Amino acid sequence: MKILVLHGSPQLHGNTAELCKPFLAELRENGAEVRYVTLANKKIGGCLGCYRCQDVEGEYGCVQKDDMELVVKDIIWADVIILACPIYSFYCPTTMKSVMDRHYGLNKYYGSAKGSLWAGKCVGLLLTHGYDVTMGTEAFVTGVRHLCTHSHLRYLGMYSVRHDEDISSFQTEEAKAGARAFARQILKG
């Protein structure tokens, strides 16, 4: 199974990166092919809303030539896409939101081009947040679930850990075991 983990925190070695460690280890120990991609060091502009991608058949077709092209290649390679990010303002950080908005070229719904470049793939969420799990994650999880329905992707679920103290909140045996259990859940599909 080919799994793409998109790490979407501006903090390269922050809480979310820490939670990714046991998750990635469990995936790899179980034989998954894993690509871990950090968005923070990529140049990815926001969607321009020009709809030009909707008239480009069989390829992504965005007019913006930036690092989203690399992310799209990884998305097309993957069977499963994991969005790993902190919650910012009840949703996700800016670069992750740009990646999400720029899914448009993967769905050809609104122009002369037809079909999808990613229908049938699976999506999971690995999140960190300051509020309790409901207040912290509800809006983002709901948005991603709707995006999956809209794009004909299969939503596989979410694992999250609350930022209570400092990075040690993500280094507890409970947090690590939870991340590993979530990895096994993802591998089951």
Residue ranges in contact with ligand FMN by CB under 6 A: 9, 11, 14-16, 86-90, 128-131, 136, 163
What contacts 58, CB < 8 A, 6 or more positions away?
113, 115
User: What's the closest the beta carbon of residue 56 comes to ligand FMN, in angstroms?
Assistant: 35
Structure tokens at 45: 């502009």
- Closer CB to ligand FMN, 57 or 132, in the complex: 132
User: What's the closest the beta carbon of residue 134 comes to ligand FMN, in angstroms?
Assistant: 10
- Closer CB to ligand FMN, 13 or 65, in the complex: 13
**C-alpha span between 84 and 170 (Å, rounded):** 14
- Closer CB to ligand FMN, 84 or 183, in the complex: 84
Determine contact, residues 95/45, Cβ cutoff 8 Å: no
Residue 106: φ, ψ to 5°: -85, -25
User: What's the closest the beta carbon of residue 96 comes to ligand FMN, in angstroms?
Assistant: 11
